[in-house]
Structure 1
Amino acid sequence: MTDSKRSDRAPVVTGRGKRERLTTAAVKMLHEQGVEKTTLADIARAADVPVGNVYYYFKTKDDLVEAALGAHAQGLQTMIASFEGLSTPQDRLKALIGGWVGQRDLAARFGCPTGTLCSELGKRADGLDRTAAKVMQGMIDWSEQQFRLMGRSDSRDLAVALIAAYQGISLLTNTFRDPELMVREGDRLERWIDSLGRPSEDPGDPA
């Protein structure tokens, strides 16, 4: 659900091992073009690796898709670890929202990196759909833990509501090519998180 801003068609990185460069390129190209449209040649070109060398590291495109999913999972863990120094679960959840808002221009162009991949792979039944689901599950599980630390007995429902709100606004931001939609939704979600400690608010509705 996080990524970095990048220019079209530029080589990804040229100073690292070929397997890592190919994985990074796969993340980029699958996000920008989708699984079906992206070819091994596209990924090789973005990684600045001869296409013939790809098969030494990845036998099929599906192997590269699986590696890209692993990179998404690792990115999630890195992001979560960066929040651990924040003192309260509310602060950690709002840092997550801030990260989403910070990627609003990317979302406007291509949608959520993880969400779009999960959506496309969800149409398949070859195992990659379940691998993709585990990445999304990791985000829900972490959010649930934060809500539980806030003393919420409905932490699971709140976590699902938060991630669903983000995926929904990512779709609309991409559909309308309007990054400000993400900004406004981020502000609303932060207010919602603040409201959860006030008993007068409906705890299950992030609206």
Structure 2
Amino acid sequence: MTDSKKARRTSGKRERLAAAAAQVLHEQGIAQTTLADIAQAADVPVGNVYYYFKTKDQLVEAAIDAHAQSLQGLIGRLDELPTPQDRLKALVNGWAEQRDLTARHGCPTGTLASELDKRADGLDQSIAQVIRTLLDWTEQQFRAMGRADARDLAVALISAYQGVSLLTNTFRDPDLMTAEARRLERWIDSLPQGADTPST
């Protein structure tokens, strides 16, 4: 096997394990998840996991990285839309499309952040950075609408999502997410634009 083929295979297994860690940690929580659970979800022999990750904490860190990469991919797709309102409403629609998953397990990033908040090993700050990235991007969209209160609006939007995610999960009711998404869309449309709003 050439070095490049070996590197691709190694990278592929590591990426599968990271993605599986993000999924299983979301479904089961950190305390209930074992390395064997993640290996099974990634379709990787459990003995091979230790080649890539020595501890569960390293897999948690990899899961956080997977969340960050997923968010960057989402932002890239949203940024292709023509207006900040379109981008924000597409974000909200994406949340609504995940309503069944949210009803079962909560918000993937939010639930992980809640679990890691009880720790003081730095992983809490790593997941906080993922949420901060989304918050900053959301603020940029409101700023592009000419809103001087862009940060406050961004906090309001992300808070509304996290709140309804908690309720959707608590009551196992995906319709709560759907209703809140429609309300948030109307809210975005109703916001007066500032005088310095770009024409696009």
TM-score, scaled to structure 1:
0.87
| 1:55-134 equivalence runs, <5 A | 55-134=50-129
Shift, 1:86, TM fit: 1.2
Q: Distance in 1 between matches of 2:175 and 2:29?
A: 24
> Which one of 42, 66, 69 corresponds to residue 47 of structure 1?
42
Hey, which bits of structure 1, 4+ residues long, moved more than 2 A? none
Shift, 1:21, TM fit: 1.3
Q: Distance in 2 between matches of 1:192 and 1:65?
A: 36
Amino acid of the structure 2 residue aligned with 1:124: R
Q: 5+ residue gaps in structure 1?
A: 1-15, 200-207
User: What do the CA deviations read for 1:78-104 (whole angstroms, capped 9, x no partner)?
Assistant: 001111221110110000000000000
Amino acid of the structure 2 residue aligned with 1:55: Y
SS of aligned partner of 2:115: helix
Larger Rg: 2
Q: Distance in 2 between matches of 1:82 and 1:48?
A: 29
User: What do the CA deviations read for 1:44-63 (whole angstroms, capped 9, x no partner)?
Assistant: 11111111111110111111
Q: Distance in 1 between matches of 2:82 and 2:123?
A: 36
Tell me how many residue pairs correspond in the alignment: 184
Percent of pairs with identical residues = 71
> Which one of 180, 184, 191 corresponds to residue 189 of structure 1?
184
TM-score, scaled to structure 2:
0.89
- Alpha carbons 2:39, 2:49 under 8 Å: kept: yes
In structure 2, relative to structure 1, the CA distance for the partners of 1:49 and 1:115 (3 Å cut) is: same
